[in-house]
Amino acid sequence: MKENNQLEKATFAGGCFWCMVKPFDELPGIHGIVSGYTGGNVEDPSYEQVKTGTTGHYEAVEITFDPAIFPYQQLLDLYWPQIDPTDEGGQFFDRGSQYRTAIFYHNEEQKELALASKQKLEDSSKFRQAIVTEIVPASVFYAAEEVHQDFYKKNPDKYKQERIESGRDAFIKENWSKQGS
């Protein structure tokens, strides 16, 4: 392993950002995960602004990772099974443009890998509906308020309840736990 590896960023929107941290957290090569907002037209937005759906921002997570330990492809392989890639109106019971899914690429290699992973999912016929997850260039990422950081650790009961009540866990079990996908 090289000692002077450069850390990279990966940015994913998958609905409620509370639910997008834990799957990536505490894995080898993951150096940090920040919940926040990206893709919109309001500078330094607040949660209150973003939740109205009028800022153009997505709720997203920005992951700092070491690609020599945890390659970007592995992040993609972990990302897709966290979402419903066919829902363009939000995710589960979180509705609105701020809850859409997207992969925000930071360089050409990420773009190519993301597009290939989306194509592979489309070709798999896993879903009858079209895969609508966007693959777009990364833009300014604004960290969400501290109350939203590491939510699953700070509020484990509410986090678990959110995942169950939203329908996310049931969807994942039904659609992503099947072998051969």
What was the pLDDT predicted at 177? 81
Residues 104-124: tens digit of each pLDDT? 999 999 999 999 999 999 999
Domains of the chain and CATH, by start? 8-176 (3.30.1060.10)
Query: What does the pLDDT read at residue 5?
Result: 65
Give the pLDDT confidence score for residue 3 in this predicted structure: 45
Selecting among 13, 16, 60, 114, the annotated active-site residue is 16
Amino acid at 145: E
Among this protein's residues, is 19 annotated catalytic?
no
Structure tokens at 180: 């051969």
User: Which stretches in the chain have pLDDT values below 70?
Assistant: 1-5, 178-181
Give me the DSSP letters along 77-134: HHHGGGS-TT-TTEETTEESGGG-EEEEESSHHHHHHHHHHHHHHHHTT--SS----E
